[in-house]
Amino acid sequence: MKILFFNYEYPPLGGGAANATAYLMREYSKNSDIEVDLITSSINDNYVLETIGENIRIHRLPIGKKSQNLHFQSQKDLLVYSWKAYFFAIKLINERKKGGKRFDLTHSFFTVPCGFISMLLKWQFRLPYIVSLRGSDVPGYSERFTFIYKLLKPVIKLIWSQAHFVIANSKGLKELAAKTGSKKEIGVIYNGIDTQHFKPEPGRRPVGKFIITTGASRVTHRKGLNYLIEAVSFLTPKYPYIQVKIMGEGNAQADLEKLAEKLDVKKQVEFLGRIAREKTVPYYQEAGLFVLPSMNEGMSNAMLEALSSGLPILATDTGGSSELIKENVNGYIIKMRNSQDIADKIEKMMNDPELAKNMGAESRKVAEQMSWEKVAGEYFELYKKVWSKDLSS
């Protein structure tokens, strides 16, 4: 089975969706029944071809991206990627046809722009497609895109209607997508987690400090990190040894740094910048707690990594949080936009080390039920369904 795959971001470019794609490619490389050509973006001015095993080819197209702010893609970045990816895809499709190895379907991460490309290719080459919803491509997900959602909603509904399958990465995202008014049935395939890579190591936790991690993710206003910083300012007078370490980069960092300085917690809040995924493990292992006060999520990869690392979880009730957090078992749901509630829950963890330890153990149990091998298998079953439908039509 031959798949043409689209995602404009792929490590080191991008965030959770990029990492999810990378994990899928790794799992697909173990399956001799599948071949994948992934079209993504380059971080320099050159086209780059990478391979994983003998059956995965990753085509990196130059879109004018530089090494700064790799977690954030501008509208210009997306437009340039769309244009180049569409014509590059046509080139690959025609080359495949000449070689007698036709693509069986396309798979797009994000409705826009990637799903739009898949829809055009369906109309042009009768290629069926699957769309994976990742969060920002669903109307209502981000306040920053409110106006754009109004413009794109008809296009998004059309893309979903033309797809063989539309898949969300959490029940929460599925419910949000349903509000768009599309009649398309939306399935759910959760993100996975590499439990062999992300694992607990309590010995790494420093004595005399209580470290909170927000995980490796984009530093954007949507993440609600300002409420965490405010919560820390409430706690610092009583617990001067509390520390927050923020991994990642994004357009909210400057504002958050100013807030930390204003609240006199600059020493307690550390911005680590972008850290390569394979180097993030120690930052989870040294932490005693994971906090995600986000306004909206799909299925947070950072939360999954924290679960696998054996951390108790505090997160707002958005995206897949309520599906991963068992209240009073492995963490707590925190109130949205409520710094005091965050502070109260953090203090509870700090004052009851045994509770935090038990919650961390429960988090690890949740993570062990999830794997990228399972996720890849579920998508492969969808591919087979699309393929069988295509043959019968």
The Cα 171–Cα 319 span in angstroms is 7
Residue 197 resides in a domain? no
Whether residue 79 is found in the same domain as residue 126: yes
Whether residue 148 is found in the same domain as residue 216: no
Residue 110 resides in a domain? yes
pLDDT of residue 147: 78
3-state SS of the chain is CEEEEECCCCCCCCCHHHHHHHHHHHHHCCCCCCEEEEEEEECCCCCEEEEECCCEEEEEEECCCCCCCCCCCCHHHHHHHHHHHHHHHHHHHHHHHHCCCCCCEEEEECHHHHHHHHHHHHHHHCCCEEEECCCCCCCCCCHHHHHHHHHHHHHHHHHHHHCCEEEECCHHHHHHHHCCCCCCCEEECCCCCCCCCCCCCHHHCCCCCEEEEEEECCCCHHHCHHHHHHHHHHHCCCCCCEEEEEEECCCCHHHHHHHHHHCCCCCCEEEEECCCHHHCHHHHHCCCEEEECCCCCCCCHHHHHHHHCCCCEEEECCCCHHHHCCECCCEEEECCCCHHHHHHHHHHHHHCHHHHHHHHHHHHHHHHCCCHHHHHHHHHHHHHHHHHHHHHC
Low-confidence ranges of the chain (pLDDT < 70): 66-73, 390-393
Q: Could you read off the pLDDT of 245-295 as tens digits, one per residue?
A: 999 988 899 999 999 999 999 999 999 998 988 899 999 999 999 999 999
The Cα 169–Cα 315 span in angstroms is 17
Residue 117 resides in a domain? yes
Residue 286 resides in a domain? yes
Whether residue 265 is found in the same domain as residue 336: yes
Whether residue 292 is found in the same domain as residue 362: yes
Whether residue 261 is found in the same domain as residue 315: yes
Whether residue 42 is found in the same domain as residue 185: yes
Whether residue 134 is found in the same domain as residue 238: no
CATH (domain of 59)? 3.40.50.2000
**Which domain, by its residues, includes 114?**
2-192+371-392
Whether residue 105 is found in the same domain as residue 170: yes
Q: Could you read off the pLDDT of 321-356 as tens digits, one per residue?
A: 888 999 999 999 999 999 999 999 999 999 999 999
Residue 153 resides in a domain? yes
Residue 319 resides in a domain? yes
Whether residue 149 is found in the same domain as residue 289: no
Residue 305 resides in a domain? yes
Whether residue 282 is found in the same domain as residue 188: no
List, in order, residues 6 or more apart from 16 with CB less than 8 Å away. 134, 135, 191, 217, 298, 299, 300, 301, 302
Whether residue 120 is found in the same domain as residue 223: no
**Count of domains for the chain:** 2
Q: Please give the single-letter amino acid code of residue 381.
A: E
The Cα 314–Cα 282 span in angstroms is 20
Residue 345 resides in a domain? yes
Whether residue 302 is found in the same domain as residue 380: no
